[in-house]
């Protein structure tokens, strides 16, 4: 035991001065531990974890030098566990547990578009018929379908409509993305749609001035730049994507340019960098300010204020908050005469983001953003230490920087993108190499100038320049996105694979010395697990509305339309293209009629759609699973999954094994605060 502790102490001493970047990693381990539990920790347990972590952190200075890092590790893990637990309870609001149809009243607090390209409103101050205020959701999100008489929603307006509302759906398959958990942290208590016109009940009466200013700027930009170019410009400047068409978003996604839409680290960094450089240049022009004023610190302060304004004006979503924190930490470092681009600065930003929004750890935005940033700082730090940049000709340095940064960011984020979105953009690196420089050198500077010129009515000058750059990016996305083989489909990895890959990548970047090469071991193990991913032979939607069986040609779906969200996620996780209609053509015997069946080895699967199909069903022959879209009575000899049962089980997955079928349900992942009324 003493020898082992000595080795640990020797290893940690060798890393002295380089351990702080591991603090947010350990804090994140506590967050991950909380989300991995199958039960909800009691509040006293969360309080105890927080108090114990705080006490250990305060006492670590009095511990022996070789034990202090281990004490900090335990403390940060406990504090992460307590922080996410506190956040989960603080955002707790009612979620409806049934299907609601009737009048819905509320105030507009957000406007965007759904995946089906429908305009979507998020409402607060919700009023539902015959529902007590204490049981009413704090927020609901409603997609607008059909002919809308009220087609110009504005922030702060109180509207009324007749809508269909449902509880936020759970995981579309066991172990998959849980929208109910996602909605919990967004404080969404119901989602739904309306096919009738939305009516204005009361105009905006003050408040939400930032939201109104944001939407006013969006309309101003789109009045200067029309079509998808104007919609793209509005998305970059204000975060308003409500005018963007789904085809444009798809093109950007398959060419790995979708990150240019989200106001994240790239946009915040480019804006802050442009403001910083412009301010410093202006201060250098005047002799007095050049010689007597701390121009670098003043420029950092002005850039920080510009970044804060961008955060407010863009809607302040999680991605933008994360980007602002990263930019703010680096700008404050400049003001304090510290190195701005360092792993310590990135670690501080990550720690702040995880403390404020611990649930962000599970999202692709956080994972991709910090994966790219850590990799970039590590690679450019290594190049700086080796003097590579100094040895290159002056004209080649910007070119080298663009190529290296694009390649590094693409490689660092590729595993995360493949794990979450199940696609591999074969031309993504090329698209970024010829698009990101345009964003940095033309579009973002023009956006800043346009914002300054709006009061003078001259914003059209800068927006015209901005439009040229945006048209270039849209053209690149459209051209490369339609090249043959532009996108590959990747099967979803088992959960440990991404965690192992993150562990290996962090070790490669954060550990010091030649032993960092050991980080390749978990990466290799992750790749091995990923290549052996085993997809279910049968999937059942939690509504009973869709069934998917695995065939030699791929996943076959029981119907070509309906339950599109389930179909999309299943096929993405299978790494299968062709869409729902293509998968429905694989169903044995076709999908026409209210009753369809498919045979797996030793097992028949029957899907009944509608009450008539249930009434006409006579019984099972042999080993058979029956899935019904409506409640049905028990049938002797049948394994029945109808909406009544699925409300308790959630989505169902089945694997055929040598010992018989193995059934796994979403409910087996445990009951948590966000699990709803199941």
571 versus 407: which is more confidently predicted?
Answer: 571
The answer on 381 and 322 residing in a single domain is yes
pLDDT at 678 over 50: no
The set of residues, in sequence order, having a beta carbon less than 8 Å from that of 504 and lying 6+ positions away, is 519, 520, 521, 522, 523, 524, 526
Give the three-state DSSP class for 244: coil
Q: Cβ distance 388 to 471 under 8 Å?
A: no
Question: Cα dihedral angle (372, 373, 375, 379), rounded to 10 degrees?
Answer: 130
Residue 149: per-residue pLDDT:
67
User: Which of 15-19, 349-353, 518-522 comes out lowest in average pLDDT?
Assistant: 15-19
DSSP letters, 338-378, are: --SSSHHHHHHHHHHHHHH-GGGGGSHHHHHHHHHHHHHHH
Q: Map tokens 């351990």 to a residue.
A: 19
Which of 165-169, 348-352, 393-397 comes out lowest in average pLDDT?
Answer: 393-397
499 & 480 share domain: no
Q: Which of 90, 110, 142 is the last residue of a domain?
A: 90
Cβ(641)–Cβ(625) below 8 Å: yes
Is residue 643 located within the same domain as residue 611? yes
Answer yes or no: is 231 within a domain: no
What is the per-residue pLDDT for 11?
A: 66
Closest CA to 420 of 374, 366, 482, 376: 366
Cross-strand pairs, 110: 122
pLDDT tens digits for range 362-394: 988 888 888 888 888 888 888 777 766 665 666
Asked if the structure places residue 146 within a domain, the reply is yes
Residue that finishes a domain, picked among 62, 90, 118: 90
Residues 51 and 141 in one domain: no
Do 181 and 293 lie in one domain? The reply is: no
Instruction: Say what the pLDDT of residue 13 is.
Output: 67
**pLDDT for 380:** 83
pLDDT score of 461 more than 80? yes
Say if residue 322 is in the same domain as residue 445: yes
Residues 72 and 147 in one domain: no
Phi and psi for 109 in degrees, rounded to 5?
-120, -10
Can you tell me the distance from the alpha carbon of 308 to that of 678, in angstroms, rounded to the nearest whole number?
Answer: 42
Given the DSSP bridges, would you call strands 188-194 and 139-144 parallel, antiparallel or unpaired? parallel
Per the rule left: phi > 0, alpha: psi between -120 and 50, beta: everything else, 601 is: beta
- Does the structure show a pLDDT above 60 at 70? yes
Phi and psi for 581 in degrees, rounded to 5? -65, -40
Long-range Cβ pairs for the range 350-354 (8 Å, 24+): 350/24, 350/28, 351/23, 351/24, 351/27, 352/325, 353/321, 353/322, 353/325, 353/326, 354/24, 354/27, 354/28, 354/31, 354/80, 354/83
CB atoms within 10 A of CB 342: 17
Residue 414 lies in a domain: yes
For residue 27, tell me if it sits in a domain. yes
Q: How many residues does the chain have?
A: 678
Considering the domain architecture, whether residues 378 and 511 belong to the same structural domain is answered as no
The DSSP H or E segment spanning 41 is: none
Among 60, 90, 120, the domain-final residue is 90
- In this structure, is residue 241 part of a structural domain? no
Q: 513 and 466: one domain?
A: no
Burial label for 80, CB within 10 Å (0-12, 13-18, 19+), is buried
pTM of the model: 0.86
Residues 217-259 pLDDT 10s: 889 999 999 999 999 999 888 888 888 888 898 888 888 888 8
Q: In angstroms, how far apart are the furthest CA atoms of the chain?
A: 93
Phi, psi values for residue 315, rounded to 5°: 105, -15
Q: What is the per-residue pLDDT across 261-294, written as a single tens digit (0 to 9) for each?
A: 877 777 788 888 889 989 999 999 888 888 888 9
| Beta strand segments in 167-229, E | 188-194, 199-202
CB–CB of 256/409 below 8 Å?
A: no
The whole-angstrom separation of Cα 284 and Cα 289 is: 7
Domain count of the fold of the chain: 5
Residue 677: predicted pLDDT = 47
Do 554 and 576 form a contact (C-beta atoms < 8 A)? Answer: yes
Classify residue 677 by its DSSP letter: T
For residues 678 and 581, the model is more confident at: 581
**Same structural domain, 466 and 513:** no
pLDDT in tens, 636-652: 888 899 999 998 899 99
267 and 410 part of one domain: yes
The chain-wide mean pLDDT, for the chain, equals: 87
Is residue 219 one of the residues assigned to a domain?
A: no
Distance between CA atoms of residues 496 and 493, nearest Å: 8
- Looking up residue 195, the CATH number of its domain turns out to be 2.40.50
Burial class (CB in 10 A: 0-12, 13-18, 19+), 282: middle
Whether residue 418 sits in one domain with residue 296: yes
SS3 assignment for 546-600:
CEEEEECCEEEECCCCCCHHHHHHHHHHHCCCCHHHHHHCCCCCCCCCCEEEEEE
Cβ contact 148:134 at 8 Å: no
What are the angstrom distances between the C-alpha of 631 and each of 141, 503, 505, 640, 678? 27, 46, 49, 10, 16
In a domain? residue 16: yes
Give the pLDDT of residue 557: 95
Measure the CA–CA gap between 282 and 298, rounded to whole angstroms.
Answer: 11
Measured CA to CA, the distance from residue 288 to residue 294 in angstroms comes to 11
Domain holding 503, by residue range, is: 495-531
In a domain, 524, yes or no: yes
């Amino acid at each position: 035991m003493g020898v082992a502790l000595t080795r640990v102490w020797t290893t940690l001493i060798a890393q002295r001065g380089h351990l702080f970047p591991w603090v947010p990693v350990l804090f994140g381990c506590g967050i991950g531990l909380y989300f991995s539990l199958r039960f909800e920790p009691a509040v006293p347990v969360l309080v105890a974890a927080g108090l114990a972590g705080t006490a250990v952190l305060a006492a670590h200075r009095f511990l022996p030098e070789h034990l202090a890092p281990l004490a900090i590790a335990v403390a940060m893990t406990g504090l992460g566990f307590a922080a996410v637990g506190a956040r989960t309870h603080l955002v707790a609001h009612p979620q409806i547990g049934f299907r609601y149809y009737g009048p819905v009243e509320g105030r507009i607090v957000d406007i965007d578009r759904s995946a089906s390209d429908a305009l979507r409103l998020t409402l607060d101050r919700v009023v539902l018929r015959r529902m007590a205020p204490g049981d009413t959701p704090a927020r609901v999100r409603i997609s607008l379908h059909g002919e809308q008489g009220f087609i110009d929603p504005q922030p702060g307006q109180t509207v009324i409509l007749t809508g269909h509302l449902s509880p936020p759906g759970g995981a579309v398959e066991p172990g998959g993305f849980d929208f109910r958990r996602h909605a919990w942290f967004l404080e969404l208590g119901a989602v739904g749609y309306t096919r009738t016109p939305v009516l204005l009940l009361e105009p905006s009466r003050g408040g939400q001035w930032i939201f109104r200013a944001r939407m006013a700027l969006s309309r101003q930009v789109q009045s200067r730049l029309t079509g998808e170019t104007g919609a793209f410009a509005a998305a970059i400047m204000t975060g308003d994507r409500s005018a963007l068409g789904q085809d444009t978003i798809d093109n950007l996604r398959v060419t790995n340019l979708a990150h240019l839409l989200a106001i994240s680290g790239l946009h915040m960094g480019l804006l802050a960098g442009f403001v910083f450089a412009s301010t410093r240049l202006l201060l250098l022009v005047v002799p007095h300010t050049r010689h007597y004023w701390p121009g670098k610190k003043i420029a950092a302060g002005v850039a920080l204020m510009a970044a804060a304004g961008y955060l407010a004006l863009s809607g302040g979503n999680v991605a933008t908050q994360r980007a602002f924190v990263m930019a703010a930490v680096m700008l404050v470092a400049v003001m304090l005469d510290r190195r701005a681009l360092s792993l310590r600065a990135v670690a501080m930003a990550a720690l702040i983001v995880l403390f404020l929004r611990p649930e962000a750890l599970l999202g692709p935005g956080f994972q991709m953003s910090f994966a790219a940033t850590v990799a970039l700082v590590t690679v450019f730090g290594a190049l700086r230490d080796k003097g590579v940049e100094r040895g290159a000709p002056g004209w080649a340095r910007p070119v080298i920087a663009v190529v290296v940064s694009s390649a590094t960011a693409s490689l660092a984020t590729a595993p995360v993108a493949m794990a979450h979105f199940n696609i591999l953009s074969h031309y993504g690196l090329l698209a970024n190499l010829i698009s990101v420089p345009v964003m940095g050198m033309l579009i973002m500077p023009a956006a800043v100038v346009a914002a300054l010129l709006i009061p003078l009515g001259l914003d059209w000058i800068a927006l015209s320049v901005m439009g040229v750059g945006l048209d270039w990016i849209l053209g690149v996305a459209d051209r490369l996105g339609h090249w043959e083989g532009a996108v590959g489909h990747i099967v979803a990895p088992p959960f440990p694979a991404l965690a192992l890959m993150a562990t290996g990548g962090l070790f490669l970047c954060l550990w010091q010395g030649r032993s960092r090469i050991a980080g390749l071991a978990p990466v290799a193990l992750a790749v091995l697990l990923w290549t052996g991913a085993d997809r279910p032979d049968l999937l059942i939607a939690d509504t009973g509305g869709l069934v998917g069986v695995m065939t030699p040609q791929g996943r076959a779906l029981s119907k070509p339309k309906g339950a599109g969200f389930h179909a999309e996620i299943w096929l993405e996780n299978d790494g299968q293209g062709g869409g729902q209609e293509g998968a429905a053509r694989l169903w044995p015997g076709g999908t026409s009629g209210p009753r369809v069946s498919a045979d797996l080895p030793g097992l028949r699967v029957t899907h009944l759609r509608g009450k008539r199909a249930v009434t006409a069903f006579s019984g099972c022959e042999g080993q058979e699973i029956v899935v019904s879209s409506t409640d049905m009575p028990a049938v002797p000899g049948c394994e029945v999954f109808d909406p009544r049962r699925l409300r308790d089980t959630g989505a169902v997955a089945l694997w055929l094994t040598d010992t018989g079928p193995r059934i796994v349900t979403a409910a087996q992942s445990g009951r948590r605060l966000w699990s709803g009324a199941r």
